[in-house]
């Protein structure tokens, strides 16, 4: 979302820019008093932190982050996959990885008709790279109430779908101060189909296509 006046929604728009807007972060000035979510010396891989990922839900009325959101991505022909999910892992791709998690999936034709649904399970960690960023909201229902353990970054995991197919899930989190090259949302592959084109988060109060990482050790 480009920086623009949103007529009466200025404060809400700043939060939207913090959670999923990818061109500039004007919210950072307003939220400068929030605790910094990442030290320049913080190295997730080096410290092998125990991490949690979530496709999240945001209540913009109370500025609260919670688990239980949905996110979607589209394939080359416009067909779509919609996912829920959460899980844990070690940020070091070596052993032990302590990988857990999963969620639900549903696929759709480009015209919108459902083509399948079920559950998926995370089977392995491919990589996790931490990114800089500061938690932009007031409340966090997943980790520390003030969001002190929220992180931005890029996670790639292997997953197994309930219909027997396999694939990968990419979870990407962009918050205040995260480089604009980092997108907010998810992409996934299922069998030979790559749902590579993530759907961007909608303007508030729209509530979809948002993610978060938490340090949980």
In a domain, 145, yes or no: yes
CA 214 to chain centre: 11
Report if residue 3 sits inside a domain: no
1 domain-assigned: no
- Domain span holding position 139: 10-215
Residue 45's φ and ψ, nearest 5 degrees, are -65, -40
- Between 6 and 210, the more confident residue is 210
Closest CA to 105 of 42, 178, 20, 193: 193
Determine, yes or no, domain membership for 117.
Answer: yes
Q: What is the pLDDT of residue 26?
A: 34
Beta bridge partners of 73: 81, 198
The yes-or-no verdict on residue 11 having pLDDT over 80 is no
The residue that leads in pLDDT, 97 or 135, is: 135
Our count of domains for the chain comes to 1
165 CB burial (10 A radius; 0-12, 13-18, 19+): middle
Length of the chain: 217
Domain membership of residue 2 (yes or no) is: no
Residue 160 has pLDDT above 60, yes or no: yes
Residue 125 forms part of a structural domain: yes
Tens digits of residue pLDDT in 110-137 = 999 999 999 999 999 999 999 999 999 9
pTM of this structure: 0.81
Band (pLDDT 50/70/90 cuts) for residue 27 is very low
For residues 140 and 33, which has the higher predicted lDDT (pLDDT)?
140
Q: pLDDT averaged over the chain?
A: 83
In a domain, 91, yes or no: yes
Pairing verdict, β 71-74 and 50-59: unpaired
């Amino acid at each position: 979302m480009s920086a623009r006046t949103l007529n009466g929604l200025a404060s809400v728009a700043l939060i939207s820019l913090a959670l999923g807007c990818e061109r500039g972060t004007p919210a950072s000035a307003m939220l400068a008093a929030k605790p910094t979510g990442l030290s320049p010396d913080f190295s997730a891989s080096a410290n092998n932190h125990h991490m949690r990922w979530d496709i999240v839900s945001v209540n913009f009325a109370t500025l609260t982050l919670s688990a239980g959101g949905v996110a979607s991505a589209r394939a080359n022909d416009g067909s779509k996959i919609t996912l829920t999910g959460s899980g844990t892992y070690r940020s070091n791709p070596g052993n032990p990885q302590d990988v857990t998690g999963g969620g639900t999936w549903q696929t759709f034709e480009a015209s919108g008709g459902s083509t399948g649904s079920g559950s998926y399970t995370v089977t392995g960690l491919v990589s996790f790279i931490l990114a800089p960023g500061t938690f932009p909201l007031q409340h966090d229902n997943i980790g520390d109430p003030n969001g002190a353990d929220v992180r931005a970054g890029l996670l790639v995991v292997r997953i197994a779908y309930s219909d027997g197919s396999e694939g990968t899930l990419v979870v990407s989190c962009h918050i205040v101060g995260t480089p604009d090259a980092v997108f907010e949302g998810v992409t996934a592959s299922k069998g030979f189909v790559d749902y590579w084109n993530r759907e961007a988060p909608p303007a508030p109060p729209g509530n979809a296509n948002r993610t978060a990482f938490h340090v949980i050790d």
